[in-house]
């Protein structure tokens, strides 16, 4: 039997009770929203958010906040009510605040959402509740309506970060007037990503914040490098939370490229090279700790390519990278990501050599020492790969019971095939691998 009464489901008595229940829920959700807003205002250093499975507790707020450790949580029982209540109000505000320049796609999104909202309202709120909500929100001034929309969008985003409409609303109406305000918004996005580290909407919004800060000159030219470096440090949280995070790694490189493209009067060449070197060291540490994750290797390949474009000694840099990779192949046997990284470095070396020859074909020849080193690069690479294959073959024969060594041998055979097919290097004559 229904808790309200089975025979009354289609009667007016049932509808009246729904109105009472709905009004109580709305009042509760407004209190939760206010509690959340007070928490954000009180603690600027919030760094982690989650939804905790929990049943309803009487006379106790579902907003859990630890001021000491800067953690925030919501009890799960209130989330459906809070989300529906906030979404219903948010759509009303979006309709009233819609800008003439809003794209047709956005209008379609709002209209389709509204139709869904009307269907939900048949189950949650009566027509009387609709009119009451419209009356209350209509009394708000434009600035109050925008503030209310920002508050609602924040609540909706922490519950459902994939809600693009809420992110777009913040883009339209969040106007940072100082670097401090913008940094608070950056921390809010980081808070959202502590629960959803792969949220693509969050990374898109972060890009928008960075561009807005630079367009409005909220960051002094002398501090641009430090500002971007700080954002790179902040992005390490979602990378640690989910290592194979394509969006995070792509955003990280986007930040780096942003600094590298600045004029030397804003960010000097030495500063750019120091930043690249810093990222190379950090990526080296990352690969040691996450040897099976190719995302870090791919990021490092882009860093090495940037270093080559800055005129770094390519031969020395790339050969050193191959030596480090070889050490890891023997220490961390059987990891395919290390072999793929090695192939990428070999291709980068060959392309660098070809590019150098093409650029200098119509110019004065380089110094004999530098040219001889580049001329011998391909032979050096072949010799290094031949030595590596022989060592792995020998280790495999001496340690046939080690599964990792066997897997390393299989990956090595695939590597030999790749070199023969892609680079036309025939290493089968000097080794005994069955390829």
The confidence band for 101, taking pLDDT boundaries of 50, 70 and 90, is very low
Q: Domain boundary at 199, 217, 235, which?
A: 217
Going by C-alpha positions, the residue among 351, 352, 433, 332 that lies closest to residue 385 is 433
The answer to whether residues 150 and 88 belong to one domain is yes
The answer to whether residues 52 and 190 belong to one domain is yes
Answer whether residue 165 shows pLDDT above 60: yes
The answer to whether residues 172 and 31 belong to one domain is yes
3-class DSSP assignment, residue 190: helix
3-class DSSP assignment, residue 363: coil
The answer to whether residues 421 and 364 belong to one domain is yes
The answer to whether residues 211 and 336 belong to one domain is no
Q: Bin 383: left if φ > 0, else alpha if -120 < ψ < 50, else beta.
A: alpha
Contact 50, 193 (CB under 8 A): no
The single residue listed with the structure tokens 């940072």 is: 176
Q: Domain boundary at 169, 197, 217, which?
A: 217
The answer to whether residues 143 and 276 belong to one domain is no
CB atoms within 10 A of CB 4: 12
Q: How far is CA 373 from CA 40, 164, 377, in A?
A: 59, 53, 6
Range of the domain at 250: 219-290
User: In whole angstroms, what is the distance from residue 107 CA to residue 113 CA?
Assistant: 10
List the structure tokens of 229. 């470096």
The answer to whether residues 331 and 422 belong to one domain is yes
Is 62 inside a domain boundary? Answer: yes
Contact 404, 333 (CB under 8 A): yes
Contact 154, 40 (CB under 8 A): yes
Is 336 inside a domain boundary? Answer: yes
The answer to whether residues 205 and 74 belong to one domain is yes
Is 338 inside a domain boundary? Answer: yes
The confidence band for 429, taking pLDDT boundaries of 50, 70 and 90, is low
List the structure tokens of 182. 């913008």
Residue 96 is predicted with a pLDDT of 79
- For 308-326, what is the mean pLDDT? 87
Answer whether residue 162 shows pLDDT above 60: yes
Four-residue CA torsion sign, 138, 140, 142, 145: negative
The answer to whether residues 60 and 145 belong to one domain is yes
The answer to whether residues 395 and 347 belong to one domain is yes
List the structure tokens of 67. 């001021």
The answer to whether residues 196 and 250 belong to one domain is no
The answer to whether residues 191 and 238 belong to one domain is no
Is 370 inside a domain boundary? Answer: yes
Is 327 inside a domain boundary? Answer: yes
Using only C-alpha atoms, what is the Rg of the chain? Answer: 29
CB atoms within 10 A of CB 215: 8
Residue 302 is predicted with a pLDDT of 95
Is 104 inside a domain boundary? Answer: no
Q: Total structural domains in the chain?
A: 3
Q: Domain boundary at 255, 290, 325, which?
A: 290
Going by C-alpha positions, the residue among 312, 293, 306 that lies closest to residue 249 is 293
The 3-state DSSP composition of the chain as helix, strand, coil percent (nearest 5) reads 70, 5, 25
List the structure tokens of 214. 């630079």
The greatest distance separating any two alpha carbons of the chain, rounded to the nearest whole angstrom, comes to: 98
Answer whether residue 116 shows pLDDT above 60: no
Q: What is the pLDDT of residues 355-375, one digit of tens each?
A: 766 666 555 555 545 555 566
Going through 60-175 in order, the beta strands assigned E by DSSP cover: 63-66, 71-75
- For 345-363, what is the mean pLDDT? 76
Is 143 inside a domain boundary? Answer: yes
Going through 16-163 in order, the beta strands assigned E by DSSP cover: 48-52, 63-66, 71-75
Contacts of 200 (CB under 8 A, 6+ apart): 247
Is 150 inside a domain boundary? Answer: yes
């Amino acid at each position: 039997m229904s808790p309200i009464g089975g025979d009354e489901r289609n009667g007016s008595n049932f509808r009246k009770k729904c109105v009472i229940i709905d009004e109580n829920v709305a009042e509760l959700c407004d209190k939760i929203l206010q509690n959340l807003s007070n928490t954000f205002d009180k603690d600027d250093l919030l760094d982690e958010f989650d939804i905790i499975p929990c049943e309803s507790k009487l006379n106790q707020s579902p907003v859990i906040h630890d001021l000491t450790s800067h953690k925030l949580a919501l009890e799960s029982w209130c989330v459906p009510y809070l989300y529906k209540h906030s979404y219903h109000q948010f759509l009303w505000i979006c309709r009233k605040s819609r800008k003439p320049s809003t794209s047709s796609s956005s209008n379609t999104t709002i209209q389709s959402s509204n139709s869904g909202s009307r269907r939900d309202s048949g189950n949650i709120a009566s027509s009387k509740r609709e009119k009451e909500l419209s009356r209350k929100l209509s009394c708000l001034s434009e600035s109050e309506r925008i503030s209310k929309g920002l508050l609602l969008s924040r609540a909706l985003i922490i519950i459902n970060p994939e809600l693009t409409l809420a992110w777009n609303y913040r883009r339209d109406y969040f106007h940072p007037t100082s670097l401090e305000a913008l940094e608070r918004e950056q921390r809010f996005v980081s808070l959202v990503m502590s629960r959803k580290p792969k949220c693509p909407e969050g990374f898109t919004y972060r890009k928008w914040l960075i561009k807005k800060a630079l367009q409005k000159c909220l960051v002094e030219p002398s501090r641009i490098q430090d500002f971007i470096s700080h954002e790179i440090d902040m992005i390490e949280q979602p990378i640690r939370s989910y290592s194979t995070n394509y969006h995070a790694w792509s955003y990280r490189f986007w930040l780096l490229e942003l600094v590298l493209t600045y004029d030397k009067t804003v960010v000097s060449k030495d500063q750019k090279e120091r930043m690249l070197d810093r990222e190379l060291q950090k990526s080296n540490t990352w690969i040691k700790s996450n040897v099976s994750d190719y995302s870090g290797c791919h990021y490092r390949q882009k860093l090495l390519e940037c270093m080559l474009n800055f005129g770094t000694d390519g031969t020395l840099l790339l050969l050193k990278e191959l030596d480090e990779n070889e050490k890891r192949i023997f220490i961390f046997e059987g990891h395919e990501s290390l072999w793929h990284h090695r192939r990428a470095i070999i291709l980068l070396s060959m392309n660098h050599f070809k590019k150098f020859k093409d650029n200098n074909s119509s110019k004065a020849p380089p110094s004999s020492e530098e040219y001889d080193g580049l001329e011998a690069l391909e032979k050096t690479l072949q010799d290094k790969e031949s030595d590596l294959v022989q060592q792995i073959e020998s280790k495999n024969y001496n340690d046939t019971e080690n599964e990792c060594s066997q897997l390393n041998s299989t990956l090595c055979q695939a590597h030999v095939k790749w070199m023969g097919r892609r680079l036309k290097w025939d290493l089968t004559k000097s080794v005994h691998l069955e390829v």
